Structure 1
C-alpha cells in the first residue's frame, strides 16, 4: 500500500492537541486545576476568599488552558519542519517506509510501541514522545483506510 500526503496546519494542530491531552500527566494536571478552579468558585460564593484571590485563580486557570490548547500545539507545529513537507509512505508486510525529497527511512512494525486513531490522523508511536502522523485523507477510499486499520491491528 502506498500513500502520498502533505500536512494541513489546522488538522496537525488538532492532532497535537489529542496527543498532549492523551498524556496521563497532563490529564491529571487538568483535572486537578479544574477541581481547584471549582473549589475557588465555591469558596468565593461562600465568602471564604476575596474577589482578588478568585480572579487570580481564574487567571491562572485561563493561562493554563490557553497554553495547553493553543500555545503548546502551535509552538510544536512551528518548530517541527516535518509538517512543512510532502511525504510518500509505503506499507508492506514486513515494514513501512517514509520517503521525502531528501531521503527515506524504513522501520519494522516492531519499532512501533502502539498507535492511536483520531478524527484526522493515525498516530504511530515509537515511544511516548516520538510519533508519526499519518493523515486519513491520504487514503484513496474507505476500503484502503480500513485495510490500513487492519494492518495496524495485526502488526502492532
Structure 2
C-alpha cells in the first residue's frame, strides 16, 4: 500500500489535541480540576467558603483548557519541520517506509506500541510521547479499510503506556 501526503495546519493542530486529550495523566488532571471547580462552586453557593477557591478553580480550568487546546498544539506545530514536508508512505506486511525529498526511514511493525484513529488521522505511537500522524485526507475508503485491517493485525489498538 502506498500513499503520498502533506499536512494541513488546522487538521494537524486538531490531531495534536486528540493526542493530548487521550493521555491518561491529562484526563486525570481534567477530572480533578473539574471536581475541584464544582465542589468550590457548590460550597461557595452554600456560603461555606469565600469566593477565592471558586475563582481559583475557574482560573485553573481556563488555563488548563487554553494550554491543552491552543498553546501546546500550536507550539508543537510551529517547532516541527515534519508538518511542512511532503511524504510518501509505503506499508506492507513486514515494515513501514516513509520517504520525503531528503531521505527515508524504515520502521518494523514491532517498533509501534499502539495506534488509534481520530477523525483526520491514524496516530501511530512508538511510545507514550513519540508518534507519527498519518493523514486520512488523500485516502480512499478502500485504502482506509485495508489500512485499518493491516494496523489491526500488526499493532495493538489498546493504548498502553510504559
TM range (shorter): over 0.9
The 2-side partners of 1:117 and 1:72 are apart by 20
The 2-side partners of 1:59 and 1:76 are apart by 24
Q: Which structure 1 segments of 5+ residues have no match? A: none
The 1-side partners of 2:53 and 2:94 are apart by 59
TM-fit CA distance, 1:60: 2.1
SS class of match (2:47): coil
CA deviations over 1:80-133 (Å, ceiling 9, x no partner): 111111111011121110101110001111111111111110001111111110
Tell me the residue number matched to 1:11: 11
Q: Which structure 2 segments of 5+ residues have no match? A: 156-162
Using structure 1 for the length normalisation, give the TM-score: 0.95
The 1-side partners of 2:45 and 2:101 are apart by 60
Tell me the residue number matched to 2:149: 150
Counterparts of 1:43-62 in structure 2, within 5 Å, are 43-62=43-62
SS class of match (2:93): coil
TM-fit CA distance, 1:76: 1.0
Tell me the residue number matched to 1:124: 124
**Deviating 4+ runs (over 4 angstroms):** none
The 1-side partners of 2:135 and 2:76 are apart by 18
Aligned pair count? 155
The 2-side partners of 1:128 and 1:53 are apart by 34
Tell me the residue number matched to 1:22: 22
Is it true that 1:106 corresponds to 2:109 in the alignment? Answer: no
CA deviations over 1:39-72 (Å, ceiling 9, x no partner): 1110110112223442233122211111111111
Tell me the residue number matched to 2:97: 97
Tell me the residue number matched to 1:85: 85
TM-fit CA distance, 1:37: 0.5
Is it true that 1:115 corresponds to 2:108 in the alignment? Answer: no
SS class of match (1:14): helix
SS class of match (2:137): helix
